[in-house]
Each structure stands twice: as C-alpha cells, then as structure tokens.
Structure 1
Amino acid sequence: MCYSAQIRADYTKLVREFGAMMSLDEFAQLYAHDAGKQRPKTPKAMDDGFAGARTAQGQDIVAKIQQWHAEEMQALDEEIRVQGARLKQAEDALAHRPTQKARNEIRVAGNRVERAQARLGDLHRSGLLPRDSRIFPGVYAPVIVSEHGQRVIKPMRYQCRLPDKPARNDTLYPGTYNARRDSLEAYWKNAFGHHHGVVVVQSFYEHVPRHALEQRVLVPGEAAQNVVLEFRAQPPRDLLIACLWSEWEGPEGRLLSFAAITDEPPADVAAAGHDRCIVPIRRENLDAWLNPDPQDLAAQYRILDDREAVELGYAEVA
C-alpha cells in the first residue's frame, strides 16, 4: 500500500514535458469558495504552483487560494490565542499545586500551539521544502488524464470514490486510495479500462515492519514495530504512476478522485520488507494507458507488466 508520495507539482514542467493542458476550470472549481465548503486539502507545492500566473483565470485561482490562506491564518491566530491562554492557566495551576490534570493540560495546549505555529509558518513561507509536495489519502494532487486524445492535468483527491458508491465509503473503506491489481476487474471494474491516469512522483513512502526490514523473525515477547521508508529511483528521476480515477456526483457535490494501482513488489521493495508496490509505467506507453479500450483489457495488463525498469533505493524517515 502506498500511503504517501512526493508528487511533481511544477505545472510549467508538467505541461512542457508531457504536452498536457492545464484544466483551469477544474482547478478554479476546486478552490472556489462555495457556501458551506471546507478548505480543500492541497499540498503547498500545488497551491504555490499558480504563483506568477499571467492569464486572468490563473490570477483568479491565485486570488481564491490567497482567500483560503487568509481565512486559515485568521483561524490559526485565534487557535494560538486560545491555546496560549489555556497553557498559561495550566502553568499557573501547576505552580500552585502540581497535578496530573495540569500537566496534561500543558502538554495538550502546548502541542496545539506548536502545530498552529508550524502551519502558520508554512503559509507565510515563500520557498518550497520537499515535504510541501507530499500527499496523503484525502489530499489533492495533479493527475494527467486524456480528454478526446489530449493530455489534460486535473486536480483529484487521493482516495477514489467510484460513481456507484456512497460518500460514507470513504470512511468505511479507507484503503481505496490504492487499487490492487487482483481486484481491477472486481471492485474497480467501472474504472479499469475506462478512466486511467498517471501521477508524476519523485518518491513514495511505505510502512514496513522493522523485523521484516531487518529480515528476521520477531523474538519471543517482542512487539512488532513499524518504520516509514522513503523509496526513490536511483538515479533520481520522475516516475509515472498508473492510476484509476472517477467523477462522482451526489448531495455533497462533485468529486474528482483517484487511486494508485498496486501490484506485487519488485525485488528491492520486497527485500525492504514490503509486500505491495505502485506501478511505474513507461513513457512510451503513456497514451495507450490514458486511452484504454474497455474491450481489450489484456492490452492494459501488458502495460502494467511492461513497467519501467527502475532501481529503488530507500531510507528510513522520521
């Protein structure tokens, strides 16, 4: 299961390297301030990718993003004020009479202040850090799809909700950000062979049992412990990850979402202790993947089998 990835969100390079058009209408709809709408979960790199937009529509998207940021910064300032007062009150109580309740209050309030300050710092920061391109389930990413034979970049949520599934499935089946190859013609049958896309990633992350990473069995009485590994192509380069996507409409509104296809792992991922892996396809297969024939699913399986040969190095991350 690929629970997180570092995406490529440099729109200029995506357009130039892959000959894709930006679907500005879809981005504008994502960032629109509709009544009762919550701020969409988007990585900083995806937001900042519109900085310097020259077209009127692009500049309108920038204004929408800035409005979301202003509202969030106001809420964070208020959170810092409220939790700061809570922290001060708990510190005074602890000085007067040491209690576990006061210690817990200090810990909770201090953590909330720290998180709010960190997020506020991210919103004010102009330069990008590697973590600004990282997505998790529920977060949006730019996905390359095909419309009438033209490659198009659209924003989609990383957790796929199929058209015939209710919104509550997002909670009931939280693993639908990945589409297992062995279920492509079962659960994913309405997307496989119909709605294919790719996400351009620079690295991806997996939870791996430490004892599996160390290639040993658990000793008696030892509890299993997970570690997070970042996998990156060696030498570093972009990978085109095979995805399925969906357009869903319901009382909650319209949703574009996607899932990354996973398969048996290559030898280097298996050696690191993980039993699944996303599938990087070859660039020469991109158009054939994006324009599938639902009557020839065997051709799509051949693309997944003819995956890009890539050596994956890994490192443990905090």
Structure 2
Amino acid sequence: MCYSAQIVAEWKKYKRNFGVEISVQDYFDLFWRRRAGEKIKIPKALEDGFADPQTQAERDVKALIDEWREAEQTRLQQELFKQRQRLAAAERILATKITKKAQHDQRIASSKTEQILGWLADLERTESKPRDARIYPNVFTHVVVSENGKRVLRPMRYGCRPAGKPAFYDTKYPGTYNARRDNLEGFWKGQFGRHHAIEVVTAFYENVDRDGSNVVLEFKPSMTDPMLVACLWSHWSAPGEQDLLSFSAITDEPPAEVSAAGHDRCIIPIKPENIDAWLNPDPANLAACFAILDDRERPYYEHRLAA
C-alpha cells in the first residue's frame, strides 16, 4: 500500500511540463469550504502555490488561504493558552503530591504544547520544507484528469469514495487510497476504464516490519523525472451532502528490491507517451488499459529510513 507520497506541488510546473489547464475554481471551492469550517486537510505546499497570484481568480484563492491561516493562528493560540494552564496546574499539584492524574495532565499538556508551537511556526514559516509536499490518506492534492480532450489539474482527496456508494465507505474501507490491480474489474469496476487520473510524485513511503517494530521507508526511483502514477478517480455526490472529488493510486506486485525491503505492493508509474491514452480510456477495451499498466516505467527503487 502506498500510504504516503512526495508530490510535485508547484502547479505552474504542471502547466509548463504537462500542458495542463488548472481548474482554479475547484481550488477556490476547496479553500472556501475549509475557511467555512470543514475539516479539510491540504498540504502547505499547495497553499504556497498561490503565494504569488497573477490573476484575480488566483488572488481570490490566496485571500481565502490568508483568512484561514489567520483564523487558525487564533484558534491555536487559544488552545496553547489552555494547555499551558493545564500544565501549570498539574505542576503545582506535583510540587506537593504525586498523583496519576497530575502526571497524566503534565505529560499530555507538555506534548500538546510542543505540537501546537510547531503548528504555529508552520503557519508563519515562508521557506519551504520537503514535508510541506508530502501527502497521506484523506489529504487533498493535485491530480491530472482529462476533460473534453484537455488535461486539467484538479484538487482531489487521496482516498477514493466510489460514486454511488454511501459515505460510510470511508470508514468501512479505509484502504481505498490504493486500488489493487487484481481488483480493478471487481471493487473498482465503476472507475476502471472510465475515470482515470495521474498523480505526479517523486517518492513514496511504506510501513514495513523490522524485527517486530514498524518503521517507515522512503522509496525513491532511479529515474530523474517524477513518476506519473496511474490512478482512478470518482466524483461522489449525494442529496444534502457536499460533493467529493477523490482518487486512488493503483498498486501491483512489487519489483524485487521493494519486496526485499519488506513491502508487498508498489505504485505503477506509466510512461509519458501513454498519458493521454490512460486519461481517455475506452470502457469497451479494458485490455488496452491493462496494456498501459504493463508498459510501465520500471525504475530501480532505492530505499532508506524516512526522516
């Protein structure tokens, strides 16, 4: 399972390198929903892509980002004050008497205080860091799709909720951020051959077992260009519910070096010459879709412990 990936976040690179159009309205809608209070997770790198707006539409998106950051800063400062009060109260008790509750409060308040300070620092930080462009399940990121024969960049949630399925599929099937190749004509039959996408990444991360302990490994391909990961996507809607654009990365049996590192799945990077054929599938010719997955890039994946 590809549980995390390092994405190419600068959307202007997509315009330059892949000839895509950016659906700015989709980004405006996403940031608007977050500003209105929805629990939407967006990498900092996607926000930073609008740091230097050139059009009114881009300026409107940046305004929403700035408003959210200001509100988030206020919320975090209030929570920081509360946790510092909790910590001070626990330390006053511990100065005269050791109790389990005071020890618990001291530990939790200290941990949350440190976490909140880190979040506040990130809100104020202007220089970029690699972790700004790392995504996890249920986080929104850039995805390339085809609309009316044109490549379009849209924000989608990593974790596909198939159209027509109930919203509780998110919890019933928490692994839907990946689509197994051997189940494309089963669970994913509504998307495979119909709704294809590409996610552009430079590395992926996996949980593996090391002597009974879980560790996270970073897998980086030998190829110099980013990987064009084959994905499926869905436009989910239901009465009285907010529409959801979401996607899943297709995974297959791993190459030998990934298997030897301790993981049993791997994403599928397709070749650049197959982009349009992949994005515009023929549902009556699934064999052609499978052929594109077979005719994949086959880099060697170096691995190391993730930072």
Q: Do the two structures share a fold, i.e. TM-score over 0.5?
A: yes
The residue type equivalent to 2:277 in the other structure is: A
1:258 aligns with 2:247: yes
3-state SS, counterpart of residue 95 of structure 2: helix
Matches within 5 A, 1:96-245: 96-211=96-211, 224-245=212-233
1:44 aligns with 2:32: no
Q: Partners in 1 of 2:34 and 2:126 — Cα distance? A: 27
CA RMSD of aligned residues (A): 1.3
Q: Partners in 2 of 1:184 and 1:67 — Cα distance? A: 41
1:248 aligns with 2:261: no
1:81 aligns with 2:81: yes
Q: Partners in 2 of 1:239 and 1:117 — Cα distance? A: 35
Q: 1:50 to 1:246 in 2, by over 3 A?
A: same
3-state SS, counterpart of residue 273 of structure 2: helix
Are the aligned partners of 2:161 and 2:234 in contact in 1 as well (CA < 8 Å)?
Answer: yes
The residue type equivalent to 1:238 in the other structure is: P
The residue type equivalent to 1:248 in the other structure is: W
The residue type equivalent to 1:112 in the other structure is: K
Q: CA deviation at 1:234?
A: 2.1
Are the aligned partners of 1:39 and 1:68 in contact in 2 as well (CA < 8 Å)?
Answer: no
Q: Deviations 1:110-147 (Å, cap 9, x if unpaired)? A: 11111111011111100110000000001001000000
Q: Partners in 2 of 1:50 and 1:144 — Cα distance? A: 18
Q: Deviations 1:54-73 (Å, cap 9, x if unpaired)? A: 10000000001111111111
Q: CA deviation at 1:202?
A: 0.9
Q: Deviations 1:50-98 (Å, cap 9, x if unpaired)? A: 1111100000000011111111111100010000000011011101112
Q: CA deviation at 1:35?
A: 9.1
Q: Partners in 1 of 2:225 and 2:271 — Cα distance? A: 13
Aligned to 1:288: 277
Q: CA deviation at 1:37?
A: 3.8
Are the aligned partners of 2:145 and 2:154 in contact in 1 as well (CA < 8 Å)?
Answer: yes
With normalisation by structure 2, the TM-score equals 0.97
Q: CA deviation at 1:100?
A: 2.3
3-state SS, counterpart of residue 96 of structure 1: coil
Unaligned residue ranges in structure 2 (runs of 5+):
none
Q: CA deviation at 1:6?
A: 0.7
Are the aligned partners of 1:23 and 1:154 in contact in 2 as well (CA < 8 Å)?
Answer: yes
Deviates most, 30-39 or 100-109 = 30-39
3-state SS, counterpart of residue 237 of structure 2: strand
Unaligned residue ranges in structure 1 (runs of 5+):
212-223
3-state SS, counterpart of residue 194 of structure 1: coil
Aligned length: 306
Q: Partners in 1 of 2:70 and 2:304 — Cα distance? A: 36
* Structure 1 segments of 4+ aligned residues over 4 angstroms from their partners: 33-36
Q: Partners in 1 of 2:220 and 2:120 — Cα distance? A: 29
With normalisation by structure 1, the TM-score equals 0.94
Q: Percent identity?
A: 50
1:273 aligns with 2:298: no
Q: 1:33 to 1:196 in 2, by over 3 A?
A: closer
Q: 1:192 to 1:33 in 2, by over 3 A?
A: closer
Q: CA deviation at 1:267?
A: 1.3
Aligned to 2:299: 310
